[in-house]
Amino acid sequence: MNPRQAPCNKADLVGQLTAHDLLHENTARGRGKGRPAAVLSFNPLRLGAVFITVTDQTLVASAVDLDLRVLGQVTAAPPHESDNAAMAACLRSLIRDTAAIFAPRAELCAIVCSMSGLLDVGRETWCVSARWPELRNFHLGAALAGFNCPVWLIRNLDAELAGLRLHEGHGAEETALLLHWGHGIGAAYAAGGDVVNRSRGRFCEIGHWGLGNGRGLRCNCGNTDCLETVAGLWSIQPALSAEFPGLPSSESGVTAHLARMDLRESPVVQIALSEMLRLTANLCRLLFPERVILTGPFVQNPEVFSRFVQTLDVAPRLRSLDRIGSSRRRLLELSAYSSVAYSTASMLRHGLRRWMSSALLKSPLIVSASALL
């Protein structure tokens, strides 16, 4: 059979999938007479996706196979002053290095970008990121078009909340608020079985709410007196280091230290905490979540977390008797898998369908097989 001929029956389809190394065919050891049975096994290493997210000011790229296993990671740290052209060059190099982790015959079928800041998901555009102020309306789809595979853009906190909902088994109609306090400050909200505005990429940019305190502190976003100027790790880290010499500057490095430190006498932490508690109470009055998930290095401190719990317990709920469930998570550990799985699963299915339609000629069998993925 011509390898480019459209398969007309199941045996032909299996033959083409085997020829393209998506299926492996092995012979089972038979006990009786007759032709031994063939055992088909799926090859999860044939295709893969690159998943990119942001931690502090570092891009972290993961090579993910069809079983949603992370095979390896590569990181890059674009300079703070990186513009669109510099970021495009950095991402292309990062993706090439990450794709090299796959087996030699593996093909890249999807790129998932889980980014911070404001996005325009429909236009595949990374609009603004306070981490890289020179970045403006960066068209990721065009910058990565050379890889000839679908590019999917999602806000990092939306991906994390969606992953946590799957990981923890939230109810379909349960409302949940994810609040992250770390290098930056942001939130995501789920209601009606989905993350709000996930398909648009802009919601709850609370780190850049204006405080109106008249201090005139310049924020990375270009405005003054945003919440992050008094509570974001990027802003208060110098003052924290003066109080606690040797304290790491990154989220991942500082988490374990903050978890065991006594922060009750730290002026900079108490000012930041006061603003964060007020913010959280107001968000609960606005969104009425049934569950609040707190993430980031600061809430790993027992005293800080207990203050959040106390605030949620006494926050006025418009005479409602409902109680808010609160919990804290270390996203670097617990939800790393779930957010990768959520963000890449649908794109891998889409990429696999696209690959099957191009590697194998269109036929009713291909259409029906792709629909099952």
The DSSP bridge partners found for residue 181 are 185
73 Cβ contact partners less than 8 Å away, ≥ 6 residues apart: 60, 61, 62, 63, 98
Whether residue 2 is predicted with pLDDT greater than 90 in this model: the reply is no
Indicate if 351 and 269 belong to the same structural domain: no
Residue 156 in domain: no
Indicate if 176 and 324 belong to the same structural domain: yes
* Averaged pLDDT for residues 173-193: 89
Q: Cα separation of 211 and 237, whole Å? A: 19
Indicate if 316 and 201 belong to the same structural domain: yes
pLDDT of residue 373: 42
* Averaged pLDDT for residues 50-56: 88
Indicate if 137 and 30 belong to the same structural domain: no
Residue 34 in domain: yes
Query: Which token pair is 319?
Result: 């005479």
pLDDT of residue 1: 43
pLDDT of residue 12: 64
| Chain centre to alpha carbon of residue 278 | 27
Indicate if 144 and 55 belong to the same structural domain: yes
Q: State the total domains in the chain.
A: 3
Q: Is 3 exposed, middle or buried (0-12, 13-18, 19+ CB in 10 A)?
A: exposed
Residue 161 in domain: no
Indicate if 70 and 90 belong to the same structural domain: yes
Most confident of 12-16, 252-256, 322-326, 362-366: 252-256
Give the pLDDT band of residue 273 (cuts 50, 70, 90).
Answer: very high
Indicate if 323 and 212 belong to the same structural domain: yes
* Averaged pLDDT for residues 301-310: 90
Residue 4 in domain: no
Above pLDDT 70, what percent of the chain? 72
Indicate if 63 and 129 belong to the same structural domain: yes
Indicate if 316 and 236 belong to the same structural domain: yes
Indicate if 27 and 124 belong to the same structural domain: no
Indicate if 211 and 139 belong to the same structural domain: no
Which among 277, 276, 269 has a CA at the least distance from the CA of 237?
A: 269
Give the pLDDT band of residue 303 (cuts 50, 70, 90).
Answer: very high
Residue 163 in domain: no
Indicate if 211 and 295 belong to the same structural domain: yes
* Averaged pLDDT for residues 212-218: 88
pLDDT in tens, 122-153: 899 999 888 898 999 999 999 999 998 889 88
CATH of the domain at 341: 3.30.420.40
Residue 339 in domain: yes
Residue 240 in domain: yes
Cβ proximity of 7 and 366 under 8 Å: yes
pLDDT in tens, 232-250: 999 999 999 999 998 888 8
Containing structural domain, residue 125: 47-149+335-371
Residue 2 in domain: no
Query: Which token pair is 228?
Result: 């992050």
